[in-house]
Chain A
């Protein structure tokens, strides 16, 4: 659990990772909600985007997030067997696996792209996943490889 309360620092020289989190509506989004209503402390770096199912996350969304400057991308869905649409997360698992392999093949750090299973009851797990992710990305530094130079 979060041991130190995180505050948004005003100092621009401190690197604050920006994480895009694609959360499925039925499990992970509810899980993040639970973390919130339970007043759990976890870093505020993740921008949640609710999608109907982790299986609906197109690889283009993930690449586009990196392109628009995300330092990390998280895709989170229901545990295997718990999908609201019965098998959406199984499809997601295959797709995400391939995207992850491709990204690391062209030389993007493996830790920048993560997938997790978080159920609606796992508010604590969601907080922990985000916390670990933010910690890992802090050590990696900003993502510049795929970011559009605009």
Chain B
């Protein structure tokens, strides 16, 4: 069990000593049951921190954003940032370290173990509650949640309301941390990794295309999946093509004919391009925090695309992202015995 009092005390200690400039954590949200990210810079505010199964966000995103903001500051505060990281979040930090996005000394990882549970899926929760509105979710034992609603307490089985990714989670315990709260559980008793993916893979080619075409058709191209992903930090995204050097001699033709790999219109062909490019760019980097899928307003199963590449990388190249910041990345390394039989 993770006791929030210990986390608060640790955060307060860090801020009072001034060893970190900010603690990234979770606080009670103002809209709905889910917690919201908290940016604590003052030791007095450390008591706002919460830790419960509604802390769904991957806070590694804010490390990236902070780094971006720093590059625009004249006199940036270069003290490290403390981040409360679940197992998946700590792997995201490890991938960012692997890519030298920042250095190990720039981040203080406060690991929290999800134990045998994980975080809740908001949609599954409201379904399980039959329309009642949850106001609080607490862990109850090792396999259920105690949910508080206006009508009283309800006990909900964890397997019914856990987010899909938590059901298949292989890293509920943060591998990389400076300090850790909670204990490690080897057997979580949920489906094996890639169970949902396997079901999709088992379908025929036509069924799979019908499935994905239907989903890509509905994409709005709001780019929420891109904005929420801690790994999508390129200054200019390949789908935007907004940074064109324009000087007085640039002709209208040149402006109009700048390279646009993907049109901005939200039609099926361009949407599939966008999602395929996004998936490929995350190959060997995605740590399956499934934030992209959570924020998607039209519920496209984006996680499956990432899962597919993660599985191939694991099966064929023995590569798992976010385990060792010192290893070279998936597409920047090779082995002599990589699969070759598919090549003519």
User: Chain A: residues with CB nearer than 8 A to chain B?
Assistant: 59-60, 63-64, 67, 80, 87, 90-91, 93-109, 114-117, 129, 132, 145-149
Contacts and interface: CB of A to CB of B under 8 A. Distances in A.
Report, nearest first, the 5 A-B pairs whose CB atoms are least far apart.
A107-B209, A90-B334, A107-B208, A116-B344, A148-B269
B119 to A, nearest CB: 27
Interface in B201-233: 201, 205-213
Contacts of B317: 94
B18 to A, nearest CB: 45
A109 B205 contact: yes
A118 to B, nearest CB: 9
Contacts of A104: 205
Interface string B285-305: 000000000000000000001
Given A60-B261, A98-B312, A90 B269 contact: no
A97 B205 contact: no
A107 B312 contact: no
A87 B335 CA distance: 10
Interface in B308-344: 308-309, 312-313, 316-317, 330-332, 334, 336, 338-340, 342-344
A63 B205 contact: no
* Chain A residues touching B, majority SS: helix
Interface stretch (B26-34, B79-87, B123-131, B271-279): B271-279
B16 interface: no
Contact of B280 (A80, A87, A99): A99
Given A97-B312, A98-B309, A106 B212 contact: yes
A100 B340 contact: no
Nearest to B332: A91
B42 interface: no
B220 to A, nearest CB: 18
A63 B194 CA distance: 26
* Chain B residues touching A, majority SS: helix
B272 A107 contact: no
A67 B272 CA distance: 9
Contacts of B332: 91
Contacts of B36: none
B64 to A, nearest CB: 22
B283 interface: yes
Contact of A60 (B205, B277, B334): B277
B240 interface: no
Given A80-B340, A106-B272, A94 B331 contact: yes
B170 interface: no
A107 B210 contact: yes
A148 B271 CA distance: 10
Contact of B344 (A60, A129, A147): A129
Given A97-B339, A106-B209, A63 B312 contact: no
A147 B212 contact: no
A107 B276 CA distance: 12
A91 B339 contact: no
9 contacts: A67-B273, A94-B331, A97-B339, A98-B309, A102-B279, A102-B308, A105-B208, A107-B212, A117-B343
A11 B171 CA distance: 60
